Amino acid sequence: MKKPTYWRDNLRLVGICLAVWFAVSFGCGILLVDVLNQITIGGFKLGFWFAQQGSIYVFVVLIFVYAVRMGKIDRKHGVDEVDGVDGVDEEDGDEQ
């Protein structure tokens, strides 16, 4: 089988992350809120907690996970940026 391309690996990671994003916010926080509200944790109804707290925590973690995983994919395909050199496009605007 052919080795997956960089772009395919990327799309796969993005797809997984967006599925989680959708599940915690639109899923747990909105569509399933009534079901989850049957469960309470401390003083929180679970659906309400997801809507006003939980989804936000997951979003933060999700972006960092994506950034780290994406760094690994960059290195696997040898397209990561070189350290020390400032960016990849020096032609525009750093110096006058």
Partner 1 sequence: MSLETLTYLVVGLSFALYIGIAFASTARNTGDFYVAGKHVHPIANGMATAADWMSAASFISMAGLIAFMGYDGTVYLMGWTGGYVLLALLLAPYLRKFGKFTVPEFIGERYYSNTARVVAVICLIVISFTYVGGQMRGVGIVFARFLNMEIEWGLLVGMGVVFLYAVLGGMKGITYTQVAQYCVLIFAYTVPAVFISLQVTNVAVPQLAFGSEVAAGGGYLLAKLDQIVVDLGFAAYTESTRSRVDVFFIAFALMVGTAGLPHVIVRFFTVPKVRDARMSAGWALLFIAILYTTAPSVAALARLNLTNTIQHGPVGEETANLVYAERPQWFKTWEATKLLTFEDKNGDGRIQYYNDANPEFAERAEAFGWQGNELEVDRDIIVLANPEIASLPNWVIALVAAGGIAAALSTAAGLLLVISAAVSHDLCKGVFWRGISERGELLIGRISAAVAILCAGYLGYNPFGFVGQVVALAFGLAAASLFPVILLGIFSLRVNKYGAIAGMLSGLVFTVGYIVYFKGVFIEPLAENVRENWLFGISPEGIGGIGALINFAVAFAVSALTREPPEHVRDLVQRIRVPK
Please tell me the distance from the alpha carbon of residue 11 to that of residue 66, in angstroms, as a whole number: 11
Q: Does 43 bind partner 1 (CB under 8 A)?
A: yes
Q: Which long-range contacts (CB under 8 A, 24 or more apart) does 26-30 make?
A: 28/54, 28/55, 29/54, 29/55
Confirm or reject binding of residue 41 to partner 1 (CB under 8 A).
yes
Q: Which residues bind partner 1 (CB under 8 A)?
A: 6-7, 10, 14, 17-18, 21, 25-26, 29-31, 33, 37, 41-45, 48-49, 51-53, 55-57, 59-60, 62-64, 66-67, 70-71, 74, 78-82, 86-89, 92-96
